[in-house]
Amino acid sequence: MPLVRCPDCLSAVSDQAPVCPHCGRPLHPRKLPDDLEQLSCALVLEEADFNDPNLAALLGELMRCAEKEAATLRGQTPLVVQRALSCAACMETAQRFGRGNSLSVYLDEDAVPGRLSRAQPICSCAPQPVPLRFPRPLSFWKTVGAILTALALWNLFLLLLGFILASV
């Protein structure tokens, strides 16, 4: 009976165990059918940007509750947004959420409060990070050049300002 490491808590666990006894994470990937459209899925809001004014209205529409009631859900993540959808419908609905929100698609049977923390999502709809304009910092000499250019432009501005004030 060989031992394997749990990916979450790194504990040594028997390879025959279906879940880690320490953290509850499933140790073996679930076998999914080839056609994902046969599955009944649930859309779960993992992280949310509650500063977004449209989020409460969208949650109210999808969860079929009043906007005021949806606004009280602030900070309650993970939150099951919709259940009994096809995988494609979950992905389509996830596109309606903004960039600051992270959603996952779970099997419908796993989207209950006791099992959700231990279940693995079928797929994730995490927001794409905004690429930086400069992925690397400037080198030393490029930084020196930028500072000298800024000083030269500042002196040129002061010189032009001096000419304008002298002509008045």
Q: What's the pLDDT at 114?
A: 67
**DSSP 8-class letter at 109:** G
Half-sphere exposure of 60 toward its Cβ, with a 13 Å CA cutoff? 12
Nearest to 84 by CA among 54, 115, 107, 66: 107
Give percent above pLDDT 70 in the chain. 71
Residue 4 has pLDDT above 80, yes or no: yes
**What is the C-alpha to C-alpha distance for residues 51 and 90, in angstroms, rounded to an integer?**
23
- Residue extents of the structural domains in the chain: 1-30, 32-125
Q: How far is CA 18 from CA 15, 58, 121, 137, in A?
A: 8, 38, 17, 47
- Residue bearing the bigger pLDDT, 3 or 63: 3
15 and 58 Cβ atoms separated by less than 8 Å: no
Q: What's the pLDDT at 147?
A: 96
| Each residue's pLDDT tens digit, 20-70 | 888 777 776 666 656 666 677 777 777 777 777 777 777 777 777 776 776
Q: What's the pLDDT at 128?
A: 53
Mean pLDDT for all residues in the chain: 76
